[in-house]
Chain A
Amino acid sequence: MNRAQKMALTMVITTLSAFLLSCIAVAILYVKVGMPRALLGFLLMCLSGLAGFSPLIFKKDKGKVILDERDRLIKERAGLGGFTAAFLFVGMACMIPFFILGPDRAISVTWLPNIFIGAGISHAFVYSLVILEQYGWREKGEIS
């Protein structure tokens, strides 16, 4: 497994764990305090930011070619996939409140930064998934 695969796998595992934990937190808070406040459980999604430390954990190889044309193409494709997922998320986050609440209602301004954070997480998640899909999920085939 090369460095990009290791970092992508860390991102996928961290994001899925954070999502699972936040769903559990929302369920617990829903029973304890009710619905609007229970959504605060999704703050645990910020734990996926821990994957940001993966470049520090997985050091660059020394004395080797660390990036060739194929790697760059894979990263470009993954970037485009990530951006597409992020903007799909933004589309849903903008239109779902509009259809549920209606155009005449108001929504907290904190919804906007949450849209941005969600878009960032979905970008990083899909970017990592596409990286893993293109390199292959298994350890063999890519030397670290």
Chain B
Amino acid sequence: MNRAQKSAWFGLTMSALLLVLFVTSVLVARPASQLSNLLWFSPAFGLSALLIIFLRKKQGQDKVDIDERDSCISRKALIAAFSSTAGLLISACMIPPFITGPTSSIPVCLLPALLYSLFVVFILTYSVAILAQYGWGIKGEKE
């Protein structure tokens, strides 16, 4: 398993955990303004980003850190992540006005929740795309 796969597994675990936290918070939050407590989870994002950088750090001078295939896989995963996030953004922005009507209003606390869910979906899709392209198993990719 190479470094990109390790960091993708880490990202997958983190995003799954954060998704569970998000769904639990949405179900439990009464009143809805308590959803803003989700902001307290933002350090988890920072921590995951730092750990991903740490895991991706080159560990030896005699090893090739990244080749053309790796950069192609990374670029494709980025495109998949951006596309899925864009799909979520379109649905989240265009469906509520049609359901509730243009004169209604929404709690402001839903906006950070939207941003939070976009980040989670981005990390989740990126990690899944990386793992799907390299292969999910340990064999075949050396460090």
- Which residues of A have CB within 8 Å of B118? 87, 90
Instruction: Report the minimal beta-carbon distance from B120 to chain A, rounded to whole angstroms.
Output: 13
Q: How many residues of A contact B (CB 8 A)?
A: 29
The reply on B111 being an interface residue by CB < 8 A is yes
The reply on B96 being an interface residue by CB < 8 A is yes
Instruction: Report the minimal beta-carbon distance from B65 to chain A, rounded to whole angstroms.
Output: 20
A98 touches B108 (CB 8 A): yes
- Which residues of A have CB within 8 Å of B78? 80
Interface of A is mostly: helix
The reply on B100 being an interface residue by CB < 8 A is yes
B105 touches A97 (CB 8 A): no
B115 touches A109 (CB 8 A): no
Stretch of A20-28, A57-65, A113-121, A128-136 at the chain-chain interface: A113-121
Distance in angstroms between the alpha carbons of A105 and B32 in the assembled complex: 11
> B36, B82, B86, B93: which contacts A98 (Cβ < 8 A)?
B36
A108 touches B108 (CB 8 A): no
The reply on A30 being an interface residue by CB < 8 A is no
> B89, B100, B102, B109: which contacts A90 (Cβ < 8 A)?
B89
Distance in angstroms between the alpha carbons of A97 and B106 in the assembled complex: 12
The reply on B92 being an interface residue by CB < 8 A is yes
Instruction: Report the minimal beta-carbon distance from B38 to chain A, rounded to whole angstroms.
Output: 10
- Which residues of B have CB within 8 Å of A116? 89-90, 93-94
Instruction: Report the minimal beta-carbon distance from B30 to chain A, rounded to whole angstroms.
Output: 13
The reply on B112 being an interface residue by CB < 8 A is yes
Q: Please list 13 pairs of residues, one from A and one from B, whose beta carbons are closer than 8 Å in the complex, sorted by A's number.
A: A76-B79, A86-B86, A93-B111, A95-B115, A98-B111, A103-B36, A103-B107, A104-B107, A104-B109, A106-B105, A108-B103, A112-B97, A113-B93
Chain B residues proximal to chain A, CB less than 8 Å: 33, 35-36, 75, 78-79, 82, 85-86, 89-90, 92-94, 96-97, 100-109, 111-112, 114-115, 118
